[in-house]
Each structure stands twice: as C-alpha cells, then as structure tokens.
Structure 1
Amino acid sequence: MKNLIKNSLGEINISKEAIATLAGNAAIECYGLVGMASRNMRDGLTELLGRDNLGKGVEVKISEEMITIDLYIIVQYGTKIHEVANNVIEKVNFVLENTLGFGPDRTNVIVHGVRTK
C-alpha cells in the first residue's frame, strides 16, 4: 500500500484519518476558501465544518497503486472558483509531500457552495 513506509527498523502505516486531517488543514489556509463542507450532503444542505472537523470534508481512498483525495469545499463569493480550486490542489499536494514524504496520485476538489464570509 502507498501509505505504508518500510525501513530497516520496521514499518510506518499512515492512516486515512491522518492524511485527511493534514489535507484539510492545508486546504483551509488557501485564499478564497470559506471552509470545508461535510462529505455527506443531506437534503441538499451543506454543513460548514469547524476547525476541529476539517478532516470530515476530505475523503481519502487508498489502493495498492494509488492514493486519491477528494476535498469538499465552500468558496468565497467573488473569487475565481477555478483559481481557488487549483490553489487548494497545489497546497494540499505540497504539504502532504513535505510532511509524509509522499503525495496523492490524484487530488479532486468538489465545490459544494459559494458563500459570503
């Protein structure tokens, strides 16, 4: 698995939750982002997650060959959505590569809403 690091002393297995928390904290620092949205939309309502629950706005899928991250975000009104999304992807990939020593193979951004701050 891609989240398993082996060395001469043993193995390090990094959980999906740890990766999701790192990705959520990296994303929330991006300009134009109001917050992370819950992955589970019920009745069409988008829940804005607090700082303690940022990982719930991130879905991590790990297979033998690939790590995919889906980020559910809410952007600020008046910003260019594609630029905010690209900045989120770049920031998350950079932080994960520098923190964990590996990054996702694919990072998807799902915009759940646009809000005023």
Structure 2
Amino acid sequence: MSENILEMSQEGLGKVEIAPEVIEVIAGIASNEVEGLAQMRGNFAAGVAERFGLKNHGKGVKVDLTDDGIVIDIYCVVQFGISIPTVAGKVQENIRQSLKNMTALDTKEINVHVVGVQFETSSEEDKEEE
C-alpha cells in the first residue's frame, strides 16, 4: 500500500485506486450528518477558502494509510449540553458504515478529537444587550 493511493484488486478486472482525499470527504460528510456536532475544525487555509464560498468537505479530517490499515482523525466542535461520548461514538459508527458502504474498506482506527464546545446564544439575549 503506498502513502498516496490505496489500491484494491478486483479479481482480474483491473485495480481500483482510492486517493486519501476521497476518504477525507466521505468521513467529513458522514461526520456532519451526526446530530450534536456543531462544526468541523480545519486549518487556516480551509477557513480562507470557505470565506470565498468554497465548501471543503474534508475539513477537520486527517487520513493516514498505514501498513496496518486506515487511521482517521476527526477534529470537531460539539454543541453544549450534548453528551460528548455519545456524539463521538455516533461519529465513529457513521464514518465506519459510510466507508464500508461506499468503498468496501475497513478502518483500523477512527479517533475523534473534540477541540471545543459551541455555546448557543438566543437572539433575545443579544437584543437585550444592545
């Protein structure tokens, strides 16, 4: 298995190559489907691209292709008042299931890194402060 592309054989039909960026996008979309997840945490370049209207579905996702298997790291912010272990478990399961359905790949690890909590402020409180 190379560092850049994951190769799978198809019993004499040829080979299928899946780039890590594809796995990042699948994992990012699957993560965003989980209720209680406020947002994904990307890097500075991803933030600048989004300001120009470009949607980065792989934001907050890091994929490592190792000899032992696929390791996925998710960096996210959860909503206040939601059980973090429950959200993290749902994120892991949703990513695992989405990758299995779309690529027939199994993952070695799906690590969820909660890097923040988003507090919701109601518009009524904002109006009172003004």
- TM-score bracket, shorter-length normalisation: 0.7 to 0.9
Kept after mapping to 2: 8 A contact 1:36/1:54: no
Which residue of the other structure, out of 95, 98, 101, is the alignment partner of 1:98? 101
Say if 1:91 and 1:112 are closer, same or farther in 2 by CA, change over 3 A: same
Greater C-alpha radius of gyration = 2
Distance 2:31 2:76 in 1: 9
- Flag as ranges the 4+ runs of structure 1 deviating above 4 A: none
CA drift at 1:35: 1.1
| 1:29 and 2:33 matched | yes
How many residues were matched structurally? Answer: 110
Alignment of 1:25-64 (within 5 A): 25-38=29-42, 40=43, 52-64=55-67
Structure 1 segments unaligned to the other structure (5+ residues) = 42-46
List per-residue Cα deviations over 1:92-112 (Å, max 9, x = no partner): 001001110012111000001
1:44: which partner in 2?
none
SS of aligned partner of 2:106 = coil
Which residue of the other structure, out of 19, 25, 34, is the alignment partner of 1:15? 19
Distance 1:74 1:103 in 2: 25
List per-residue Cα deviations over 1:50-98 (Å, max 9, x = no partner): 6821302100000222110000011001101111001100100010011
Structure 2 segments unaligned to the other structure (5+ residues) = 121-130
TM-score normalised per structure 1 = 0.85
TM-score normalised per structure 2 = 0.77
Give the root-mean-square deviation of aligned CA atoms.
Answer: 2.1
Distance 1:79 1:20 in 2: 25
The answer to which structure, 1 or 2, has the higher relative contact order (CA under 8 A, 6+ apart) is 1
Identity %: 35
